[in-house]
Amino acid sequence: MTGTNTENTADNGVNVEALIGAREALTEAPEAAQFKWRTSSKWMNGTHSKTTISSFFGLGEEQSRGKEFSVETDHPEVFAAEDNAPTPVEVVLAGLAGCLAAGVAAVAQHRGVQLRSVEATIEGDMDIQGILGIDEEVRNGFGDIRVQFDIDADASEDDIKAIVAQSQKRSAVFDLVTNPTNVFVNVN
């Protein structure tokens, strides 16, 4: 409904040309597409941990971003904890929200759709009988996760839905919460 002449006017702050360029380059050099993401965490006390995030590997070499981020996790008082920080599962939901919103912005820009606001609220169901070991049949992780998007943009309702659907299709965090992943834990 916005016509085809808007493709160069939408600015959601995403450098789509660079992404498309990277896609073409990595199609020819798939080894450069192999990334490794890393975090290092340190237990503080109780259920409180502090994770630092800095370098990663990608495009065939170590990538130093010259700064360090930190994410803290703890548990709320109903778990008899000190509630210094969000629970780890809330951080996972934050990761899902951030990943989907980034995808929405990129897909919208690629389709020439100007976004005015994108808000997402996420709720994940959890039966804590799993983590407490009360019922072996209850899984530890989320039951269902529901994402509610409110998006104001220059596009029809169906076009917005298609952008959100495409964002899920291309989302790393959506994939890792919906599909199994091998996890190897070693102790030094």
Partner 1 sequence: MNNIATVIIGAGQAGLAMSKHLADRSVEHVLLERGEVANSWRTERWDSLKLLTPNWQSRLPGYSYEGNNPDGYMDMKQVISFLDKYSERIAAPVECQTNVHSVKPVDKGYLVSTNRGEWQCEKLVLANGACNIASVPKFAADLPSDIESITPLQYRNPDQLPDGGVLVVGASATGLQLAMEIQASGRQVTICVGEHVRVPRVYRGRDIKWWMDVAGVLDMDYQEVDDINRARRVPSLQLAGSENRDTMDLNAVEAIGVRKVGRLAGIRDGKAMFSGSLANVCALADLKMNRLLDTLDEWATENDMDRKVEEPHRFEATRIDEKSTLGMDLAAEGIKSVIWATGFRPDYSWLDVPVFDRKGRIRHDGGVAEVPGLYVMGLPFLRRRKSSLIDGVGDDAKILSDHLHSALYSKAA
> Applying CB under 8 A, which residues contact partner 1?
30, 144, 158, 161-162, 165-166, 168-169, 174-175, 177-180
- The Cβ-side half-sphere exposure at 185, using a 13 Å CA radius, reads 1
Closest CB to partner 1 among residues 100, 118? 100
Closest CB to partner 1 among residues 24, 77? 24
DSSP string spanning 9-70?
T--SS--HHHHHHHHHHHHH-GGGG--B---EEEEEETTEEEEEE--EEETTEEE--S--EE
Closest CB to partner 1 among residues 114, 168? 168
Closest CB to partner 1 among residues 34, 178? 178
Amino acid at 54: S
Cβ–Cβ under 8 Å, residues 52 and 39 = yes
In whole angstroms, give the CA distance from residue 74 to residue 81.
Answer: 7
- Count each helix (H run) and each strand (E run) in the chain, helices first: 4, 7
Closest CB to partner 1 among residues 31, 150? 31
Q: What is the DSSP letter of 18?
A: H
In whole angstroms, give the CA distance from residue 120 to residue 58.
Answer: 29
* Burial class of residue 80 in the structure, from the number of CB atoms within 10 Å of its CB (0-12 exposed, 13-18 middle, 19+ buried): exposed
Instruction: Kindly state the smallest distance separating residue 46's Cβ from partner 1, in Å.
Output: 32
CA 111 to chain centroid: 21
Instruction: Kindly state the smallest distance separating residue 124's Cβ from partner 1, in Å.
Output: 12
Closest CB to partner 1 among residues 14, 85? 14
Instruction: Kindly state the smallest distance separating residue 26's Cβ from partner 1, in Å.
Output: 12
Instruction: Kindly state the smallest distance separating residue 121's Cβ from partner 1, in Å.
Output: 17
Instruction: Kindly state the smallest distance separating residue 36's Cβ from partner 1, in Å.
Output: 21
Instruction: Kindly state the smallest distance separating residue 127's Cβ from partner 1, in Å.
Output: 14
